[in-house]
Amino acid sequence: MKIKYLLLVGLFFIMTSCNNSSVYNEGYDFPKNQWQKKSSNFFVFTIDDDTSLYDVTFNLSHVYDYQFASAPLSFKWTKPDGSSETIPVDFKFKDENGKELGDCAGDICDLKHTLASKAKLLKGEHQITVTHSFHFDYLPNIIHIGLDVSKAK
């Protein structure tokens, strides 16, 4: 009886301690694992609470043992007041020793890049457009890209 009680209490604490602070989480999958250069992928999210701090994270999944160490990405962030900023990123897949930087399971690796950390965001609609300027028509072996906006902890 005590074991059942302890299990129930433990389950209760686990369930109540999970705090889903995600405000937005969307993504794109790429046919044939090819991120075409001509495709502009955009993410539109709304901030309702401008008193909170937010983390904005770009997510990318790729095939294990990526053939390039990095790729040039660009993020254009348009804010509710009409202003915009472009954030160029040399997105790293591997470190200087050739080791994967992503969290890999099987043949898929997941990488994250923080665009904003504990940032105060304007109330209203935000749009982030992400493109790449890789020297071929497409960036190969890219499975998925996504954006997560969460309240900072």
pLDDT by residue (tens digit) across 58-100?
999 999 999 999 999 999 999 999 999 999 999 999 999 999 9
Residue with tokens 């493109």: 131
How far is CA 134 from each of CA 40, 68, 130, rounded to the nearest angstrom? 13, 11, 13
Are the C-beta atoms of residues 118 and 55 closer than 8 Å to each other? Answer: yes
Are the C-beta atoms of residues 103 and 109 closer than 8 Å to each other? Answer: yes
The pLDDT score that the predictor gives to residue 4 is: 39
Q: pTM of the full predicted structure?
A: 0.84
**Pair of tokens at residue 150:** 């969460």
The pLDDT score that the predictor gives to residue 62 is: 97
**Pair of tokens at residue 101:** 């930087």
Pairing label, strands 41-47, 124-132: antiparallel
The pLDDT score that the predictor gives to residue 39 is: 87
**Pair of tokens at residue 55:** 């983390």
Name the β-bridge partners of 149: 24, 56
Are the C-beta atoms of residues 35 and 139 closer than 8 Å to each other? Answer: yes
Q: Which residues of the chain have pLDDT under 70?
A: 1-20
